[in-house]
Chains A and B, each alone.
Chain A
Amino acid sequence: MKVVVFAVLFLATILYHAFHPLMSNMSIDYNKITFKYTCAGESRSVPAASRDTVKMKYEMVPNRPLEEYVPANPETLDQYSFENAVCSVESVEAKVKFKDKGWKVVRLEPVSCSVTKLWYECYTKAPNPGMCNYYFFAGGECYRCNIRGELEIVAKLPENIRLDDIKPRSLSATVTIPRHFQPPKIPGNLWEHIEFNTYFHFINLPSLNLALNS
């Protein structure tokens, strides 16, 4: 019995560690990409933003979420406005050392979230363009891409902790990357065609003949 329990626990631990870091799920909207980002590839705390808050950096590293299909190809990634990406943080946890109680993982109160770096790394083409949902964005191209970047989170600290001993842990944040809205453009030669045809349509109207030939 003990062996079975031990085996189950061991397996659960292995699976947890294999899939826990960085589970993101992405939703593609009409003119933006939003993905939910939980936990960090790497995280570190930086000098405190103030006496009562801490600034933490979370590196968004590529890892498996196979559903990260981006309606773009490596040449057209500039359609995404990386510099205008925004994030909001839902929850943040850190292991902190309390002055009297030792180390403990606690949930911190998030204050702000910002995207300090962001880029895509695209690899293989999707087997089916429909995997990008709105696959017309980039002329039918749908690629498997990874989103990389860095989030900076400011969170409020609990009392009675040693400021130097904060180890950021899990994170739940939503990152939104706006997309340049570029509907298909009407080609110039179509306008010329329309104008000429309109002209010939009108000059051939019987009612206009007398006026034009007077």
Chain B
Amino acid sequence: MRLARVLLVVLLFSSMAAAYTIPLPTFYPTETYHKTLTVHSIEDANADKDYSDGKVTYLYLLHLVYSYPSAEKVFSKYEELESVRKGYAYKCRFNLPITREMSGKYLVMCTLIKITGNVDINTGTWNFGWKNIGDDNGVDVFKVKKIPRPPQPNIIARIIEILVNFFKSMLGG
């Protein structure tokens, strides 16, 4: 009996979740998506571009817009930073013109990336690694709809209407 009650509650909540849809901001071509996303650094880091010791560190604030689910890149920008501090907020400002080719859902992302490089003395090549040092707050989703096709004027109906009116006037109506 108790199990049945629990199952009923779970069923109720799941059906509520399924029925609930988040209204996504919707844009049409010719409009512009404006948004500022904020990401917080999860660690302290400093850029180190002095490569003479065989080590470098680069910090970037990454701006990205991808289509979903087709995963096509629409926009990307790398803003180089000299340092980041744990807990500090970093902002990505997006001003994305919506083009006629766009349609569907788009994922907007703002995050912090730390890239480290080390030289291999034997080969002289640089090897790079990277790490995401931003939290997960810098994200947004929006939708793009195509502009609906305008209704076609019904020429035949218009001709019939003109003819009916003409005959009506002829018959003295």
- Chain A residues in contact with chain B, CB under 8 A? 30, 129, 134-141, 183-184, 186-187, 190-191, 193-199, 201-203, 205, 207-208, 210-212, 214
Contact = CB atoms under 8 A, between A and B. Distances in A.
Interface residues of B, number: 42
Interface centre among A193, A195, A197, A198 (most CB of B within 10 A): A198
A184 B56 contact: yes
B141 A199 contact: no
Contacts of B68: 203, 212
A208 B139 contact: yes
A136 B113 contact: no
Nearest to B20: A210
Contact of A212 (B121, B126, B130, B141): B141
A30 to B, nearest CB: 6
B43 interface: no
Interface string B8-51: 00000000010011101000000000000000000000000111
Interface of B: 17, 20-22, 24, 49-54, 56, 58, 62, 64, 66, 68-69, 71, 73, 76, 78, 105, 107, 109, 111, 113, 115, 117, 119, 121-126, 128, 130, 132, 136, 139, 141
A202 B136 contact: yes
A202 B21 CA distance: 19
Given A184-B51, A184-B56, A205 B128 contact: no
A198 B64 contact: yes
A140 B121 contact: yes
Contacts of B109: 198-199, 202
Contacts of B51: 136, 183-184
A201 to B, nearest CB: 7
14 contacts: A134-B52, A184-B51, A184-B56, A184-B119, A194-B115, A195-B62, A197-B132, A198-B132, A202-B107, A202-B139, A208-B139, A210-B20, A210-B21, A211-B22
